[in-house]
């Protein structure tokens, strides 16, 4: 789903200016956007920030979050200047932001022993989801990150969110009804913030898995 060919199609639809400045938040070890951008426009500049709860040699191994939410915001403000970026891509990153917010609220130790087949961060995530407290904990943190990214965008610049269902994550115990709805949830959360953003329809791309927002001023 999230491949070089997919990103090439997207970049053509987005119509970025020549020599565009692109920033991505994504799990480490995936260079699909980098390779697509190099084919699309060799003058474009890309900066990547790994923000993920996945660490270790196994694709689904859990360790400490690569970046806390506080450090993530600090990195965003240091690495992307005000009104300097044409595209910020959240590649499968909404899930990690949600988990990091829950872990921070719950003071979850990612290295604590698993109970059954579920790591501590996912046990906490499921508990907050079932109790109805997840949005109370997550939304303020999520919107603070989106606002920081919005400030970094040039007028006309775009925020792009993508998500896909990974079997390795489901096998760890993600609640499917939450895991499959991260983009619709992100769309709803952002709509409540009254930011200078408007949604752009991406032809050929399912809005359940993709969300593109353009800065209007």
Q: Are 175 and 162 in contact (CB under 8 A)?
A: no
Enter the tokens of residue 209: 């898995």
Nearest Cα residue to 207 out of 160, 140, 156:
160
Q: What are the chain's domains?
A: 4-215 (3.40.50)
Per-residue confidence (pLDDT) for residue 27, from 0 to 100: 66
Per-residue confidence (pLDDT) for residue 53, from 0 to 100: 58
Distance CA 134, CA 127 (A): 9
pLDDT tens, 76-110? 887 787 888 999 999 988 988 998 888 888 776 54
pLDDT tens, 162-176? 998 877 777 777 788
Per-residue confidence (pLDDT) for residue 114, from 0 to 100: 47
Q: Which residue positions in the chain have pLDDT lower than 50?
A: 55-64, 110-116
The alpha carbons of the chain give a radius of gyration, in whole angstroms, of: 17
Distance CA 36, CA 22 (A): 12
Distance CA 48, CA 30 (A): 10
């Amino acid at each position: 789903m999230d491949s070089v060919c997919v990103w090439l199609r997207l970049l053509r639809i987005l119509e970025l200016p020549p020599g565009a400045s692109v920033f991505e938040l994504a799990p480490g070890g995936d260079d699909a956007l980098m390779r697509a951008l190099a084919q699309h426009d060799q003058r474009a500049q890309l900066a990547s920030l790994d923000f993920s709860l996945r660490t270790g040699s196994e694709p689904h191994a859990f360790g400490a979050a690569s970046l806390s939410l506080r450090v993530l915001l600090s990195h965003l403000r240091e690495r992307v200047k005000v009104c300097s970026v044409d595209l910020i891509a959240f590649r499968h990153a909404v899930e990690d932001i949600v988990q990091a917010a829950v872990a921070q609220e719950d003071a979850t130790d990612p290295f604590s022993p698993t109970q059954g087949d579920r790591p501590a961060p996912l046990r906490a995530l499921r508990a907050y989801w079932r109790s109805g407290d997840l949005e109370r904990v997550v939304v303020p943190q999520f919107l603070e990150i989106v606002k920081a990214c919005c400030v970094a965008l040039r007028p006309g610049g775009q925020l792009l969110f993508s998500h896909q269902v990974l079997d390795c994550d489901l096998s760890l115990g993600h609640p499917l009804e939450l895991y499959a709805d991260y983009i619709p949830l992100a769309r709803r959360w952002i709509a409540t913030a009254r930011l200078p953003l408007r949604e752009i329809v991406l032809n050929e791309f399912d809005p359940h898995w993709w969300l593109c927002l353009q800065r209007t001023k």
